[in-house]
């Protein structure tokens, strides 16, 4: 583009300018991040250690927990560390790495939820063919496709952004490097890039949301003729998935399905998306699932007996 890139670092404004609120943020988000990592790590350990949690749903859940553990880790530690900094800076390379990582794990999470919805659809609507359709190879293929889709989405976002010229100013009114604030800082016409970014993100969020809603509507329609016990069990499983889908997909639909502009509410919306679903998903999938709770009790019982010896 011909314009020299003079920016070697960016200044992040963070969530709040008040010193007192920054201290509150440090305490609150440090606690949330530790709970998020431990909660998702516990789910991964339970699923891999248990001999009973070998259904495809738990295979996808272990991948989802890993993505949920990494997604906030791409941005939250830097935000926590910046709470003590008078001047909150991030290097150019660090900024692009943060942009790639956040979109990679966030997008992979969406694709994994879509794979889990397909698994529930087959389990409830085609139970006699479930084991044949959802075999180990197909589950691995769906999980691999989810990670590949997340990578392709995020590498496109990063490549479109890194090639832009930044010649100042370098201040980002956010707590991490996201695509819209960076496009705003570029000293070049970003209309085409912004359009590609919007189409890329809109296609993923909107299409995934539509597929997920349709799949759960079809599932609920197929449950009409089942017994009340089967209805309650299936509804409990689907209910937890629907809650997760809404938590994960509504914020990015608000953020990325519009032209490249920044709004005052963006910071809080994306903060909710980064922090809350990864924190709540272990609770949603364990407290509402008797198989996971039983596997957890067995795991702790075995560890307790080994400790006594």
Which residues does 68 contact at the CB level (< 8 Å), separation at least 6?
36, 40, 109, 277, 278, 281, 282
- What pLDDT score does 2 carry? 45
pTM: 0.90
DSSP letter (8 states) at residue 75:
T
* 3-class secondary structure, 171: strand
pLDDT value, residue 237? 67
pLDDT confidence of residue 221: 80
| pLDDT at residue 234, as a whole number | 66
Q: Could you give phi then psi for residue 171, rounded to 5 degrees?
A: -100, 125
Q: Where are the beta strands (DSSP E) in the chain?
A: 9-12, 89-91, 171-172
132, 152, 176, 237 from 103: Cα distances, Å = 34, 10, 12, 27
Q: How many DSSP H helices and E strands does the chain contain?
A: 11, 3
Tens of pLDDT, residue by residue, the chain (309 residues): 444 577 889 999 888 888 888 889 999 999 999 999 999 999 999 999 888 888 899 999 999 999 999 999 999 999 999 888 888 899 999 999 999 999 999 999 999 999 998 998 898 888 889 999 999 999 999 999 999 999 999 999 999 999 999 987 899 989 999 999 999 999 988 899 999 999 999 999 999 999 988 888 888 787 776 666 666 766 766 777 788 888 899 999 988 888 777 777 888 899 999 999 999 988 887 766 778 878 878 777 765 555 555
């Amino acid at each position: 583009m011909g314009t020299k890139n003079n920016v070697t670092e960016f200044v992040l404004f963070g969530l709040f300018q008040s010193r007192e609120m920054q201290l509150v943020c440090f305490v609150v988000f440090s606690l949330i991040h530790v709970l998020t990592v431990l909660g998702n790590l516990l789910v991964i350990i339970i699923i891999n250690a248990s001999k009973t949690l070998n259904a495809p749903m738990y295979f996808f859940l272990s991948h989802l927990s890993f993505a949920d553990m990494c997604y906030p880790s791409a941005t939250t530690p830097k935000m926590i560390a910046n709470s003590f900094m008078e001047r909150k800076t991030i290097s150019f390379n660090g900024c692009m790495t943060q942009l790639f990582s956040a979109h990679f794990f966030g997008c992979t999470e969406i694709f994994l939820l879509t794979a889990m919805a397909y698994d529930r659809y087959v389990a409830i609507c085609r139970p006699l063919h479930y084991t044949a359709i959802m075999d180990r190879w197909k589950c691995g293929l769906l999980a691999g496709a989810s990670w590949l889709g997340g990578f392709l989405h995020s590498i496109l976002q990063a490549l479109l952004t890194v090639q832009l010229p930044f010649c100042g100013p370098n201040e980002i009114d956010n707590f991490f490097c996201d695509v819209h604030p960076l496009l705003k800082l570029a000293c070049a016409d970003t209309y085409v890039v912004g359009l590609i970014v919007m189409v890329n993100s809109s296609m993923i969020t909107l299409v995934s949301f539509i597929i997920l809603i349709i799949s759960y509507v079809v599932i609920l329609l197929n449950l009409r003729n089942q017994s009340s016990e089967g209805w309650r069990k299936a509804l409990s499983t689907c209910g937890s998935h629907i809650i997760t889908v809404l938590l994960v997909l509504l914020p990015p639909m608000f953020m990325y399905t519009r032209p490249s502009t920044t709004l005052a509410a963006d910071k809080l919306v994306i903060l909710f998306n980064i922090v809350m679903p990864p924190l709540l998903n272990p609770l949603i999938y364990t407290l509402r699932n008797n198989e996971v709770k039983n596997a957890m009790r067995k795991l702790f019982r075995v560890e307790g007996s080994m400790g006594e010896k």
